[in-house]
Amino acid sequence: MAELLYIAAALMLGLGAIGAAIGIGILGGKFLEGAARQPELVPLLRTQFFIVMGLVDAIPMIGVGLGLYVLFAVAG
């Protein structure tokens, strides 16, 4: 049973990291697209970019916390 918990924790960590990487990549591409389309809005877009990037990056941190909980508290 403990082996399945290790696999579940690894999937939580790995899929969270992959999802965040894809989300930040798409977000960065859209930021560059918007900056190229309307250069006068770059300061506004940059502010929104970093706020949303922080929110996107917070999701895997929750997954890391849950994964470590599964590893050490439940399986331990």
CB 71 within 8 A of CB 5: yes
Backbone angles phi, psi at 75, to 5 degrees: -80, -25
Of 55, 57, 61, 74, the catalytic one is 57
> Is 57 an active-site residue?
yes
Q: Residue 5: which residues within 8 A CB-CB, separation 6 or more?
A: 70, 71, 74, 75
Residues with catalytic function = 57
